[in-house]
Structure 1
Amino acid sequence: MRIALLTGGSTSERDVALAGAAQVAPALRSLGHEVTLVDTVEGVLDEERERALLGVATVRTEPPSRERLARLRRREDLPRLVGERAVSRADLVFLVLHGEQGEGGAVQGLLDLVGVRYTGSGMLASALAMDKRSSKRLLRDAGVPQADWVEWPADAAEVARLGRPVVVKPSVGGSSVGVSIVRDPGDLAQAVVAAAAESSQVLVEAALPGREFTVGVLGERALGVGEILPAHDFFDYECKYTPGLCREVFPAEIEDWLAERMRRLALETHRLLGLRDFSRIDFMLDAEGEPAVLEANTLPGMTATSLLPQSAAVCGLGFGELCGEICRLALER
């Protein structure tokens, strides 16, 4: 099968996407597929350029600077790329993109227009899940447990009602870029500025005190539950991509009822948001030890040590098998 692996991007998660592509491409080739890499900035890559780009693909401990991202965006032309023969004639586009550009629905909409099948959720579901404000409203209305939150700007009484500490986060974004934990009300304004640099909408959320977990979803199946044990106050960008700063335990060492509760909530969240093929749902425990949904990731990280592959491994699925199953689900639609 001819697969175009669309990766790179011009968001703060570009390095994460390239590191994933460096793992997914050989996995798909080992399954017998003809894989062409397409970087949204560099274009269609021949073998030499692929080796040059992916051979050194690592995730830096700091996201790309705003200046670097601006330079990348000036060179990017997604509508033209989608019209490239390597993409338009592909049997399937495998998406290894992160951030608003890859997970916000724009790429999915372009691929829908040219009639090319692709992995993961569709345009509308992607846009909904990427916008935390909208997805949290939907999940709240459906009764899915989550932390209390308000949209900024909010008056002092609304923020005080959340208690301390609070989490300030961009409504749109990923890899915890722009996220801060605020314990002192005097630090709130600075945290809002950091979040607003990533998204025009900012959320202020009660910080839950419990342990952090994640569950992968593949098709109609919830995968293994994993626990995230970061060295920092929360699972920030540095912890996610710096070796040794986070320990991940798969399967999580928890009681069966709690694991089953999170697996059910993961499937419910996946379905309520209209997601398809695969996703990853993140959780925190509240003060009573009950799980609350943090967010849904429609295109979770795909390096061999990313959370979704580890969740799949609990169920006996190796990395190559996971990639193959994602392709199968996309082609069966």
Structure 2
Amino acid sequence: MKLTILFGGASFEHEISIVSAITLKQKLSGFELSFIFCDQDHTFYLIEPSKMKAVTFSKGEHKKMAKLSLSHGAFVQKGLFSSVEHGGVFLNLIHGADGEDGTIAALLDFFSIKYIGPRIDASVFSYDKRYTKWLCDARGIKSLKYEELSLKEHNNIKTPYPVIVKPSRLGSSIGVSIVKEEGELDYALDSAFEFDSSVIVEPFINGVKEYNLAGFSADGKFYFSIVEEPHKEEFLDFEKKYMDFSRSEQVLKAEVSKELETKLRVNFEKVYKDLFEGALIRCDFFVIEGEVYLNEINPIPGSMANYLFEDFKGSIELLSNSLPHAKRARVNYDYIHSISKAKGK
């Protein structure tokens, strides 16, 4: 199978995306892979597969490689006398801003490029934690109560301590703090506001059961990964999540009842259906007193959550053959022709 991995981007998760792409090179060995890197200045480079190493980017060696532009259905490498098109199916592996906020999705849709990844509307509802809460309310999915604080205007919180403070539009636990008493709040807010102008505050439930489930839909059927119970201390901080992006060995299946596994899958389908088609996503759930609560949606999980699937290669191939097609309006200028004809022109 031919597949082009698009990675990088201008975000706080830029380096994570590089690690994720290197991991997928290993996991998708046997595929005909190409790699396109989006630099922090939004320049696209065609990366030689043999150069897919972290130092290629940290030392700026990628800037010596071919630059690409976009055209209908493909990225284009322009030469002195001819151009080479790089088409086929692309995989959006840009984590955080650019990749998960809908920017790249809009660009790829605009140029009619086929890709695996969340579409614009799916990106909007999963990238911003406030909008994820709205999605939960609209689709009958339980989630923790929360408060929103703004950089320009915020008062004392009403949620009882301990709480967890999160930037509204950021992943990988960057800027996240657990606040156990009022004296710790200002520092936590300062840390979060370094990354976003909006912050959400939720109750922190020590020892809460957490489960991760990934999956996708292809040809109208859902395909699920195993259920994972992540190992954590108080919460999965940046360092632990960073390591997730380089994981390539399948993890052990969590010991959960069939009833709970069914509940997790039902809630996953509520999140995914009629919104995330074309993407492989991971949902992180809490289980409180037997009830399932959505914690967050990972629209482009680290290394595409390969470690949760028994047949990751097969999953990517299946998904690539069932991508949604955006409908485009057909323009025939009948209206303008009719006006011109009426005016005798």
Residue number in structure 1 paired with 2:296: 295
| Amino acid of the structure 2 residue aligned with 1:126 | S
Matched position secondary structure for 1:30:
coil
Query: Is the CA contact 1:39–1:45 (under 8 Å) kept in the aligned structure 2?
Result: yes
Query: Is the CA contact 2:216–2:224 (under 8 Å) kept in the aligned structure 1?
Result: yes
The answer to whether the aligner puts 1:106 opposite 2:103 as a matched pair is yes
| Amino acid of the structure 1 residue aligned with 2:210 | E
Separation of aligned partners in 2, 1:277 and 1:267:
13
Residue number in structure 1 paired with 2:19: 19
Ranked by relative contact order (alpha carbons within 8 Å, sequence separation 6 or more), the top structure is: 1
- Find the structure with the greater CA-based Rg: 2
Shift of residue 56, structure 1, vs aligned partner: 5.1
Matched position secondary structure for 2:215:
strand
Alignment of 1:1-333 (within 5 A): 2-28=2-28, 30-31=30-31, 33=32, 35-41=33-39, 43-47=44-48, 50-54=49-53, 81-83=69-71, 84-85=75-76, 89-153=86-150, 155-156=155-156, 159-160=157-158, 162-209=159-206, 210-219=208-217, 220-230=222-232, 232-242=233-243, 250-271=252-273, 273-286=275-288, 288-302=289-303, 308-313=305-310, 317=311, 319-330=312-323
Separation of aligned partners in 1, 2:170 and 2:52:
24
Shift of residue 40, structure 1, vs aligned partner: 0.3
Shift of residue 104, structure 1, vs aligned partner: 0.5
- Alignment TM-score, normalising by the size of structure 2: 0.76
Q: Cα gap change, 1:207/1:195 in structure 2, threshold over 3 Å: closer, same or farther?
A: same
Separation of aligned partners in 2, 1:228 and 1:276:
26
| Amino acid of the structure 2 residue aligned with 1:225 | V
Give the count of matched residue pairs.
297
Shift of residue 27, structure 1, vs aligned partner: 4.7
Shift of residue 290, structure 1, vs aligned partner: 2.3
Matched position secondary structure for 2:114:
coil
What does the per-residue CA deviation read over 1:116-165, in whole Å, with 9 as the maximum and x for residues that have no partner? Answer: 11112211211221011112122124321111101114543xx33x3221
Query: Is the CA contact 1:165–1:183 (under 8 Å) kept in the aligned structure 2?
Result: yes
| Amino acid of the structure 2 residue aligned with 1:252 | A
| Amino acid of the structure 1 residue aligned with 2:228 | G
Unpaired runs of 5+ residues, structure 2, are 78-83, 327-345
Matched position secondary structure for 2:110:
helix
Shift of residue 275, structure 1, vs aligned partner: 4.8
Shift of residue 166, structure 1, vs aligned partner: 0.8
Shift of residue 93, structure 1, vs aligned partner: 1.4
Greater share of helix residues, 1 or 2? 1
**Structural RMSD (CA):** 3.1
Select between 36-45 and 168-177 the one with higher mean Cα deviation. 36-45
Matched position secondary structure for 1:148:
coil
What does the per-residue CA deviation read over 1:187-206, in whole Å, with 9 as the maximum and x for residues that have no partner? Answer: 11211121122222110111
State the identity %.
26
Separation of aligned partners in 2, 1:331 and 1:91:
14
Query: Is the CA contact 2:278–2:319 (under 8 Å) kept in the aligned structure 1?
Result: no
| Amino acid of the structure 2 residue aligned with 1:37 | F
What does the per-residue CA deviation read over 1:67-123, in whole Å, with 9 as the maximum and x for residues that have no partner? Answer: x9xxx9xx9xxx974454169641121111100211100001011111111112211
